[in-house]
Structure 1
Amino acid sequence: MDVRDWVMRRNCSITPRQLAVAFSALSCMSFLVAIYFLLHGIWYVIGFTVIELAAVGASFIIFARHVTDRETVRLSDDCLFVELVQVDQVRQFRLDPRSTRVEPPSKRNGLVALEENGTRIELGRFLTEWKRREFAKELRIALASLRNKTEFQS
């Protein structure tokens, strides 16, 4: 029983902990500058600092929530298992590898589609266009190999 895995995830260059440290350093520096101006009578700078840090903090939170997003495809002899993780939502699909069709992206920036008995799953959100086509080709070859192996054993 051969098992083949593909894991596609975001390319995150910073961990949530590093992001928190960077935000803390940014916040300290911004507040030091704002306090300097506040002490010199320019009070409205503190308001802009709060607005700026709120916007940056909100964008950091959105980024941190998506760090663990991923798409996993596992092909075994009897099952094509697909798991899609986005923020807190996990969706899992079990497809029959003998009847699953792979459709490469049909248009620019399109996703790879898997279809089996009315179920359609789109994959490749974290891949470049070239890598999507390569993934579709690899998966199609792996499925064809599995079908041929099954036919040979029957």
Structure 2
Amino acid sequence: MTKLSHYDDQGQAHMVDVSAKPATKREAKARAFVELSPEALAALPKNPKGNPLEVARFAGIQAAKQTSTLIPMCHPLALSFIDVETHILEGGVSVGATAATVAGTGVEMEAMVAASVAALTIYDMTKALDKGIRIREIELVSKSGGKSGEWRRP
């Protein structure tokens, strides 16, 4: 069985020491889907709180920069790039996030946090219009760089 890197030999959680790892370009992409009613989707551009998709984009970018304060064993990273995109689709809003750095550890968590918080922001800004909103399929899409190299969701 593969040993989980965030646990020591006594089973205690700890931050992984990445000081010996080479700094390489690393990138990760994540996504989420916010399921909305047709009425809430139709109201998106004229939401009285402002444009939920633009606010969600900013929230996701800001959240990625705060990942290490939210997830206890994440390393604080200098992000080279973070972007969040939203697209209105049938049944809801697709959220995509990309994070990049040159560091000794990956940016999967930063991309996942960005997608998650952007989705939560859409929820927050549209909940008055739709009590049945669901956030679905928060997932890593791809990652590159580091020892494990490329990975893509099949």
* TM-score in terms of structure 1 length: 0.27
Higher relative contact order (CA 8 A, sep 6+): 2
Larger gyration radius, structure 1 or structure 2 = 1
- If each structure's strand is expressed as a fraction of its own residues, which one has the higher value? 2
* TM-score in terms of structure 2 length: 0.27
